[in-house]
Chain A
Amino acid sequence: AQKITQTQPGMFVQEKEAVTLDCTYDTSDPSYGLFWYKQPSSGEMIFLIYQGSYDQQNATEGRYSLNFQKARKSANLVISASQLGDSAMYFCAMREASSGGYNKLIFGAGTRLAVHP
């Protein structure tokens, strides 16, 4: 069965430091997609970054990068130069293998990040 695992329930980081949020996944499908979403205390879900399983380069979006290690089945989110506004819940998600074109996402349980001044 496909699964997303986020082993860190909570993390904290000093402002301006970099932080890595872990995500491992399990799938037997060679074609899949990996996503990270941010959920601040206000509750909305904000898309951060996407990595396709066939993408050769690690995805980057501004201060966010995805450390994609296919053999290890990991898709860690790296946030560089943390800011106070980065304090939020972060979810890793994977496109279900049986999705076809529907992009049904499976989510991990999330990691709560606290950025300290």
Chain B
Amino acid sequence: DAGITQSPRHKVTETGTPVTLRCHQTENHRYMYWYRQDPGHGLRLIHYSYGVKDTDKGEVSDGYSVSRSKTEDFLLTLESATSSQTSVYFCAIREDTDEKLFFGSGTQLSVL
């Protein structure tokens, strides 16, 4: 299994509070991604990264920011959480020479 860990696994927070989700990998892959999963939408890309300090926006990036100060860590921050950001968040990694993405176990976030 790909060495990818998401934390926390579950979080409940209140509207307006900042939240940071962490993705940690032990594979030393440069490509990392954050997706959110909502019923009826499959997974949608929030942000992605190709190495330290190289990040870009995906399809649904509004309200989210990311940081990657080390190859192994990709952080997703909700600056001021809203109820519409209640979702399951998946981190994924990819090896340079491979097509497929490997996903973490996901973080269930509830914003009340």
- A28 CB to nearest B CB, Å: 18
Total number of residue pairs linking A and B with CB closer than 8 Å: 54
Question: Is there contact, CB below 8 Å, between B48 and A108?
Answer: no
Q: Given A50-B99, A103-B101, is A110 in contact with B106 using a C-beta cutoff of 8 Å?
A: no
In B11-47, the 8 Å CB interface with A consists of 31, 33, 40-45
Contact of B58 among A37, A104, A108 (CB under 8 A): A104
Q: How many residues of A contact B (CB 8 A)?
A: 23
B102 engages A47 (CB within 8 Å): yes
B95 to A: closest C-beta gap in Å: 10
Known: A45-B90, A107-B44. A102 touches B31 (CB 8 A): yes
A81-96 residues at the B interface, CB under 8 angstroms? 91, 93, 95
Tell whether A103 pairs with B31 under 8 Å between CB atoms, given A50-B99, A108-B42, A109-B42: yes
| Other 9 A-B pairs with CB < 8 A, given A43-B106, A91-B42, A102-B48 | A4-B42, A45-B90, A45-B92, A102-B56, A103-B94, A103-B101, A107-B42, A108-B42, A110-B42
